[in-house]
Chains A and B, each alone.
Chain A
Amino acid sequence: SASAPGPSRNCILVSHRQKGNPLLKHIRNVRWAFADIVCDYMLGQSSCALYLSLRYHLLHPDYLYFRIRELQKKFKLSVVLCHVDVEDVVKPLLEVTKTALLHDCTLLCGWSLEECGRYLETIKVYENKPADLIQGQMDMDYLSRLNHALTTVRHVNKTDVVTLGSTFGSLSHVMDASMEDLARCPGIGERKVKRLYDTFHEPFKRVV
């Protein structure tokens, strides 16, 4: 933080245009500072955000287009942060969606200033974070993994997983169980039995 660009490295730069936006109150987890920038919020070296309230859009339908044009595609990620603050959203949101999509901007919607603020914070905080979080890693303990697998069968819930596990002792025994053994488990009705049994015994590839 001692380097020359100093604050710009790890804080959100906010355009002077945003002065007085109550949204700024809700940026608390990250530092921010006013700066002379073309976008509303600079969230990193190549990502920026424009803030748009739907109510404002209804009054000035062209505003968003001109703002996006100013950006001149200088950023890798340009977010249009849309604050949904009107009741009847369908039409204005359609216009905003179209403008953003056709001009290479990513649209994010927030329903409160807190939510909008949180998006800005999160994008800044996660600037260099790897994607593991959304790549499907989960709890590694046995029961979670068992839940994860068995609940793919429709309507099988966590209680059923415990029942199945404790009745048969191990997953391989569950997978190999006969229909009647499955039916003997409390809480597992006819349909669940059939679904479970089919999942385990029907071949992966159906023969045509």
Chain B
Amino acid sequence: MVQFHQHIISDLLNEPNGGLVVLSTGLGLPKLISALLSLHDPAQGSLLLLSASSSQRSEIILNHPEISEITSELPAHHRLSLYTSGRVFFITARILIVDLLTSRLPTTSVAGIVVLNAHSLSDTSTEAFIVRILRSSNRSLYVRAFSDSPQSMVSGFAKSERILKCLGLRKLHLWPRFQVYVSQDLERNPPEVIDVRVPMTPHMLGIQKSVIEVMDACLKEMRKTNKVDVEDLTVENGLFKSFDEIVRRQLDPIWHTLGKRTKQLVSDLKTLRKLLDYLSRYDAVTYLKYLDSLRASESFRSVWVFAESSFKIFELAKKRVYSFGRKRKLDNRNSDGNDSRATANNGVVLEETLEAPPKWKVLREILTEIQEERQKQAMVREDSLGGGKDHNGIILVACKDEHTCLQLQDFINNGQHKVMQEEWEKYLLGKVELQALPKCNKNKQKAPKGFGILNGIIPSNSGQRAEVTSISKQENDALLAAAHDIIKDAKRNSEVDGVSEGHDRGRKAQLKKKKSVINESDFEPETGIRSVDLPSKSKDKTNVSHKLYSHESGTESMNKEVLRKHSQNSENTNEFPSVYFHALESDQVILDILQPSFIIVYHPSLAFVREIEIYKAENPSRELKVYFLFYEDSTEVQKFEASVRRENGAFESLIRQKSLMLIPVAQEDNFQGSNSSFETQSIIAQNLITRKAGGRKEAGKEMQVIVDMREFMSSLPNVLDQKGIRIIPVTLEVGDYILSPLICVERKSVQDLFISFSSGRLYHQVEMMSRYYKIPVLLIEFSQDKSFSFQSASDIGDDVTPTSIISKLSLLVLHFPRLRIVWSRSLHATAEIFSTLKANQDEPDEVKAIRVGVPSEEGIIGNDIRAENYNTSAVEFLRRLPGVTDSNYRSIMDGCSSLAELALLPIEKLTELMGGHKAANTLRDFLDAKFPTLL
């Protein structure tokens, strides 16, 4: 444990009420929390961990394997016994709030709660709701909130102050990287750092320049709209994801009044940022492939695709992969050796350039260098016979994504030429495969290599391709011809070694047989352990390094064992022993487990740099050498440096905010009042005075609203509670809120409204509501920060068009004349409207509301939360497939367990499940249809 972690913890412990800690990215937040949890005393009560991300969760569990997770799958009485056990639990806000509202959780049994990712809180979020309820009856409760994203803490007005208020806290602790204790700790034994600047190739530089030009042009256009604050619109800001946020925050309130062009500009900027990012991350061929997909999917409205510089991007990206020209004669077809194979076709030449990423070469050099150094050291060590314990010689290569990991591994094993060649072949085959007509794929071959599918038959007349204008037809043909060659080669090879094909077939058979088999030989998403003795292709090994420990196995010995296995494995195939590849995106702890002596940071990331620092500070005796690979003069460097600046800026502004903060001393007392029914009842009482005797009956009762479980994702229940309305959470089949026996409300945010109109969901929901309730209500809820209107007057157009939201609403109104529509400005306005509408109505009946609309055969659903019982995205996916209808999707779900299984079902079985030949055929055809050509 690093010292400043101890400081943070002792600071926190001094404050009985709790506090909010903000620290720099990568400063070991999960470790800090693990240490804090070790101090938990079960006698005080249980400790609940809220809103941890999955990676944080797994890292904490690694240190505390005893911590379990409370999910809604646990039966209610079981949950109760856990709550009162005094242990530490992970829990989601949704379950916790439901259990609190249904009084399943005795508030006194909770000693405190720990909230992670505090930057995403607001006073309407469920976490704030939870704290309010807990605080109201449990005065000794402590709340410790953490955030390691200072940038997000300063977005918006006085955000940190508002977060403190909503958690009822008074103390803000700031721990930037430049804080004295932190920098002392981290700089006492800094690792040896070697900065390697790799020059980019001219083509890469060209692409980068063009992308920035286009970006700049887009930004200029944005400025012209006069809708955005010009100051923030710089290319540097444009490199970050948060740029979208800056722009959206400014534009959202007026979003519906913006022209199409401005909206397009916003999304174009996002695309361009990705292009820059991928330029330094992907190899030339993959980049080209991405551009191709982009061009195919990008709408014709895109501003950037037609800019002049964009043309250059496409040109240069292509040049990095192949060049294409017309040559009279081809004398020296194969004379230039392996590096570029040329294909002649009607005097047209396709020459592969296949530019490899410059970092590859450097990576290999570094590895060699380390290797030599290691051998030297090994010799020295043999002489001294000293303990080589602090130097295990493990090399860790950290890159951004899995894709790069796999590729680098491949590159180290097989060399640059082979990797690029493979990518190129894949690219070409991808193009050809897409040319093939649909339905020629009856026998369901899993064929990344494309055997059998084509068998040399390339559709000779390219009618489909004729519509394509961007690549000339000849170029196209040349690409196809090249692909054809490769297929021929592949076929020849496969005849020679039939073993591999047999193996392939074997795999297929396995896949078909049973799902459990698939699970064994493919990925295990839960455990992440890849057992070595499985029948593995060469690529199977590549995944080894970055998925090497399981979430469940917290035990050291287990990890060690896994590690040993893998290192053996990689030593077999590798000229460089013990090299590990780690994807930063996977967000997993790697340093403490691997304990590398060399780290090569292939893609720079601020958080990872900090992690290395922490790791080194924790293990001062261990030698550590760190290599940074940067592309010189690239946006990669720029982005890295800017991220440091941004973080420092964020902290400076937080420090300023802290000094000016106004937090009332008696904050807890506020909490007392807000939830208790005193206030509410007095309001009701006041209202009653003006009313006649009819109201008196209700005087003793508080207002109640029945709320669907799924609605706890939104903040409305919280705001309703703030207004003193009692919330009864249940699972509703019809409607979201039941205000009275007569009034049922379906709530839609503006965005949801558009989506559910086009999916037809809204029609269905309104139909159900009208069937079961006398006053069905559609609540259209606008967001406070966004404009209160659908569109600007200028967007309305001259004619009645079927796509317009006006037309859709009119049609809905015409078909459901009994439907009432409520237009609400904001969450708070909604709460107001609800209590007004309820005023003269009876209170809703919970038991009845649950039964409404539930099909009789499923009548036993009971208290369970629907979303937890169903894989909702899979169900939604299924319902959107052609041939699947409201009447047959349930039987499909009964008949096969998952979508993957559905993909393999034979037509007969489908016919049986879907209750008809026609529907089954529609579905099967859609599943097997060849994806249309991109060329």
| A residues whose Cβ falls under 8 Å from a Cβ of B | 28-29, 47, 76-77, 79, 84, 89-90, 93-94, 97-98, 100-102, 104-109, 111-112, 114-115, 118-119, 121-123, 125-127, 129, 131, 133-138, 142-143, 145-146, 148-150, 152-154, 158-159, 161-163, 165-173, 175-176, 178-181, 183-187, 189-191, 193-195, 197-206, 208
Contact = CB atoms under 8 A, between A and B. Distances in A.
Contacts of A100: 820
Contact of B898 (A112, A123, A135, A204): A204
A198 B808 CA distance: 34
A186 B788 contact: no
Contacts of A105: 820
Contact of A186 (B286, B791, B826, B932): B286
Given A138-B758, A173-B446, A204-B871, A118 B796 contact: yes
Q: Which of B293, B434, B788, B806 has the most CB of A within 10 A?
A: B293
B869 A208 contact: yes
A126 B293 contact: no
B498 interface: no
Contacts of A204: 870-871, 874-875, 878, 893, 897-899
Nearest to B807: A122
A133 B811 contact: yes
B759 A90 contact: no
B871 A203 contact: yes
Interface string B769-806: 00000010100000000001111010010111010101
Contacts of A161: 297
A208 B903 contact: no
A127 to B, nearest CB: 7
Contacts of B817: 47, 76-77, 106
Interface string B430-452: 10011000000100101010000
Given A135-B760, A152-B880, A167-B430, A97 B822 contact: yes
B406 A133 contact: no
Interface in B888-935: 893, 897-900, 902-904, 926-932, 934
Contacts of B294: 159
A163 B430 CA distance: 10
Contacts of A134: 757, 760, 762-763, 808, 811-812
B278 A180 contact: no
Contact of B401 (A119, A180, A189): A189
A135 B869 CA distance: 27
Interface residues of B, number: 109
A88 to B, nearest CB: 9
B430 A131 contact: no
B800 A118 contact: yes
Nearest to A186: B290
Contacts of B929: 142, 170-171
Interface in B824-874: 825-826, 829, 832-833, 836-837, 864, 868-871, 873-874
B931 A169 contact: yes
Contacts of B286: 186
A58 to B, nearest CB: 16
A206 B900 contact: no
Interface string B384-405: 0000000000000000011100
B814 interface: yes
A129 B893 CA distance: 35
Nearest to B813: A106
10 contacts: A89-B825, A97-B822, A101-B837, A115-B790, A175-B899, A176-B900, A190-B402, A199-B873, A200-B903, A208-B869
A201 B807 contact: no
A137 B760 contact: yes
Contacts, number: 284
Nearest to B829: A90
B278 A203 contact: no
B814 A123 contact: yes
Contacts of A107: 820-823
A125 B928 contact: no
B446 A97 contact: no
Top 3 nearest A-B pairs by Cβ distance? A136-B760, A179-B523, A165-B931
Q: Say what secondary structure dominates the interface of chain B.
A: helix
B877 interface: yes
Nearest to A179: B523
B806 A179 contact: no
B868 A206 contact: yes
B904 A205 contact: no
A173 B444 CA distance: 8
B293 A159 contact: yes
A194 B525 contact: yes
Given A79-B813, A100-B820, A162-B293, A197 B401 contact: no
B8 interface: no
Q: Which of B401, B586, B811 has the most CB of A within 10 A?
A: B811
A101 B525 contact: no
A84 B799 CA distance: 22
Contacts of B688: none
B899 A200 contact: yes
Given A159-B294, A180-B543, A119 B823 contact: no
Contact of A206 (B73, B543, B775): B73
Contacts of A101: 775, 777, 820, 822, 837
Q: Which of B826, B837, B868 has the most CB of A within 10 A?
A: B837
Q: Which of B290, B757, B807, B826 has the most CB of A within 10 A?
A: B807
B829 A94 contact: yes
B268 to A, nearest CB: 13
Contacts of B434: 166, 169
A170 B799 CA distance: 40
B441 A170 contact: yes
Contacts of B812: 131, 134
B433 A152 contact: no
Contacts of A142: 926, 929, 932
B762 A199 contact: no
B810 interface: yes
Contacts of A167: 430
A199 to B, nearest CB: 5
Given A134-B812, A142-B932, A201 B430 contact: no
Q: Which of B433, B808, B837, B900 has the most CB of A within 10 A?
A: B900
B713 interface: no
B823 A131 contact: no
A126 B810 contact: yes
Interface in B409-446: 430, 433-434, 441, 444, 446
A30 to B, nearest CB: 9
B274 interface: yes
A83 to B, nearest CB: 12
A155 to B, nearest CB: 11
B7 interface: no
Contacts of B561: none
Contacts of A135: 760, 763
A119 B893 contact: no
B293 A163 contact: yes
Contacts of B757: 134
Nearest to A176: B903
Given A153-B873, A199-B873, A93 B825 contact: yes
Contacts of B903: 171-173, 175-176, 200
A144 B893 CA distance: 24
B789 A198 contact: no
A112 B522 contact: no
Contacts of A206: 73, 868-871
A99 B587 CA distance: 55
A50 to B, nearest CB: 14
A79 B821 CA distance: 10
Nearest to A189: B585
B230 interface: no
B291 to A, nearest CB: 10
A199 B800 contact: no
A131 B767 CA distance: 12
A80 B448 CA distance: 61
A202 B871 contact: yes
